[in-house]
Amino acid sequence: MGEEAAHDTTRRLSDVIPGRFGDPVSVQYAWMSPENAEAMPTRPLFLALHGWGSNERDIAGIMQYIAPYAGAAIGEYFMHKGKDVLIVYDDLSKHAIAYRALSLLLGRSPGREAYPGDVFYLHSRLLERAARLSDERGGGSMTALPIVETQAGDVSAYIPTNIISITDGQIFLESSLFFSGHRPAVNVGLSVSRVGGAAQTKAMKKAVGTLRLDLAQYREMEVFTQFSSDLDEETKSQLAYGQSLMYILRQGRSAPLSQGQQIVTLVTAMAHLYQQVPVAQVCALRDFLLGEFAAQRQSLMLQLEQGAALTDEVRQQIVDYDRIKAENEAYKALARIQDSNTE
């Protein structure tokens, strides 16, 4: 959920990268337009409408309405074959607009924002087709990832609130974060999971700790300190800690981290290890530590990947090892090279 400029394309593609969910069948479609409608799964309908004399502009609107159901039908085929399916609806805001246009042409009574009264049912029956089948029925599953575009960051609009009430949570992408270089531009405060920690492994749940609370405090303090130039040392330290947390959450395009890498990164971040370098070098230090940890602590990394518990002993091993690596001459040399390249 977010504005069009918040780069939701890269965010959803990171969910489809092979290996992220094992090896799923991914059913993904693009919205129809006069340029690409003929190439979509609904091509037979496109040809039929074109043969009946409909112009391409009308056909595009019809395709916008039909496309998610065609995608869901293809996904259900693989689900009943025992496969795990991820289907991305991009985006349901345009789907609602297409349905509104069709309803108004049919003379149906408009409701809020001129949408027909059953627009909620339109999306609820679509998203509730996602399911997990029992072993007797093949054990397949279909996970729905709907995309919703907001206007000026307004999550209280009609369609966004409908989707929020149907789904198990939302990831809110904020354009201001995107333009400031923070990508993926996830707003931690507005992003919610109703599943909660049930979807996390025990190690991940323990590694996260107070991360969300720390980020919320940092954002509040950042706004407050914009109007003050005289800051005490404690405030400066808290701001530096918050900035380091923001930077370690940045990811390269189509470069998701494994569970073990996430746990190592979070543990070291919560131990304030990234505060010992300039903010601009935080990502370089993170990548350096992950590379060293994977090369020298392969057995521990494998245990974390397989869901081992994050005990106090394991946490201390991660912190002690990474602290030594962060302070050694190898990283200092790396930092000097990057500083010279920047200059």
Cα–Cα distance, 13 to 28 (Å, whole number): 10
The residues with which 140 forms a beta bridge, in sequence order, are none
Known catalytic residue at 12 = no
Question: What H or E segment, with its residue span, contains residue 76?
Answer: helix 56-80
Cα–Cα distance, 29 to 64 (Å, whole number): 11
Cα–Cα distance, 62 to 69 (Å, whole number): 12
Cα–Cα distance, 294 to 270 (Å, whole number): 20
Q: Is 139 left (phi over 0), alpha (psi -120 to 50) or beta?
A: left
Residue 277's CB is within 10 A of a number of other CB atoms, namely: 17
Catalytic residue selected from 108, 132, 194, 253: 194
What sections of 271-311 are H helices per DSSP?
Answer: 282-296, 298-305
Cα–Cα distance, 314 to 306 (Å, whole number): 14
Nearest in space to 142 (alpha carbons), one of 74, 88, 73, 86: 86
192-193 and 25-28 beta bridge pairing: unpaired
Does a cis peptide bond (omega within 30 degrees of 0) precede residue 184? yes
Q: How many residues in the chain?
A: 343
The catalytic site residues sit at 194
